[in-house]
Chain A
Amino acid sequence: MRINTHPILEFKRGAAVTITFDGKPIEARDNETIAVALHAAGIRNIGRSMNLHRDRGLFCAIGNCSSCMMIVDGVPNVRTCLELCRDGMTVETQHDKGVLA
């Protein structure tokens, strides 16, 4: 779901791109962040907590809370609320603290 009509804001949507989330293709725009594209596609669980591995959703959306960290193109601990979508990008849910390649 995306907001198309807003009383104040205008949305300048970028070019359509496709990213892969846990093996599934997701329609996205190249000027929106990964977390926003996943949210628009109805995916609400985008992170896991460190200790009890509980679901974490989009919270601060400004790179502050680190609840949205995922593995992007093989790199762990990417804050997906800040990282813009690129065509062909691979995004995976991160279940651990992340392992450097």
Chain B
Amino acid sequence: MLEQTGIPEASDINGVFPSDERLAKGPVAVIECFQRIPCNPCSTACRRGAIEAFDDINDLPKVNHEKCNGCSLCVSRCPGLAIMVVDMTYAEDKALLKLPYEFAPLPEEGSSVTALNRAGEAVGEALVVKVQNTPALDKTPLVSIAVAKDLARTVRNFRVTDDTSAESPGILRGDEAPSPMVCRCNDLDLDNIRDLMKKGFTSIDEIKRVSRLGMGPCQGRNCIPLVLGELSRFLGKPVSELDPGTYRPVVKSVSLGAVAEYDGEALTE
């Protein structure tokens, strides 16, 4: 599910969380990095060697939770904001989460905020304990929030205000949504393309000749990849086996006068 939704599930979270024994000893970093990408600033940020050096830059970080002392140097260094520090020893019934927070406005220390889970849903209240925004953090402020201990594995973000009046208009879905635009130059939407394919036009060149797809000012830069994907689904063939259509160099009109007056010197206008 993580690949489809981008939201880690309980099993994903438990896989990267330290043991209960380690959590009982004090603050520790939790790295929710689930995708192999070429990225290693967390490993180079750690001065205790708790995030092991990468053999391959695509590796997922391996954290030695026993070496980690929860200093949070790595938290603001992760470009994906995938690291937080969890302190289960903060209070009798509260856990402290130190989160990277790249939103405006920053919360005020001592204020109450709405705690959100990894899907962005409100799950409870949180108290803002500390807000750090030093130059060394390079515009990734760290916000420490106190949450109920049983929410320590659920909460991963928070919302400063519940004022939703500034929300953008909703996205139309289902029957309400118009057919997605494929060719912005010649006004062809996905339904038009599918109709053409059902009529038997099953290559880029055929669709181009009947509909002028790819012949507008964008020269097919936007529509051809979309239609290739749709053709691939329709024909059951990978895109690599499909003909991307005939490409011709860009032509710009030149007045005859510009050619007639050409004296061998570089053309200025």
Contact = CB atoms under 8 A, between A and B. Distances in A.
Interface of A: 5-8, 49-52, 54, 56, 59-60, 64-67, 69, 77, 100
A54 B181 CA distance: 12
A79 to B, nearest CB: 9
B217 A51 contact: no
B185 A66 contact: yes
Interface of B: 102-105, 139, 141, 184-187, 212, 216-219, 221-222, 253, 255
Contacts of A51: 185-187, 212
A55 to B, nearest CB: 11
Contact of A100 (B103, B105, B185, B255): B255
B40 to A, nearest CB: 21
A66 B216 contact: yes
Nearest to A49: B187
Contacts of A77: 217
Contacts of B253: 100
B218 A49 contact: no
Interchain residue pairs A-B with the least CB separation, the first 10: A66-B217, A66-B218, A52-B187, A51-B186, A51-B187, A7-B102, A7-B104, A49-B187, A50-B185, A67-B184
Contacts of A69: 217
19 contacts: A7-B102, A7-B139, A8-B139, A49-B185, A49-B187, A50-B185, A50-B186, A50-B216, A51-B185, A51-B187, A54-B187, A56-B184, A64-B221, A65-B221, A65-B222, A66-B185, A66-B217, A66-B218, A69-B217
Contact of A49 (B102, B104, B184, B219): B184
Contacts, number: 47
Contacts of B216: 50, 66
A65 B212 contact: no
Nearest to A60: B222
A59 B184 contact: yes
A49 B213 CA distance: 13
A98 to B, nearest CB: 9
Contacts of B184: 49, 56, 59, 65, 67
Given A49-B184, A69-B217, A100-B253, A5 B212 contact: no
Nearest to B102: A7
Interface-centre pick from B141, B184, B212, B222 (highest chain A CB count, 10 A): B184
A69 B218 CA distance: 10
Given A5-B104, A6-B104, A100-B255, A65 B187 contact: no
Contacts of A60: 222
A17 to B, nearest CB: 24
Contacts of A66: 185, 216-219
A49 B186 contact: yes
Contacts of B212: 51
Interface-centre pick from A6, A54, A67 (highest chain B CB count, 10 A): A67
B154 to A, nearest CB: 24
Given A50-B187, A66-B185, 13 more contacts: A7-B103, A7-B139, A8-B139, A49-B186, A51-B185, A51-B212, A52-B187, A56-B184, A60-B222, A66-B216, A66-B219, A67-B218, A100-B255
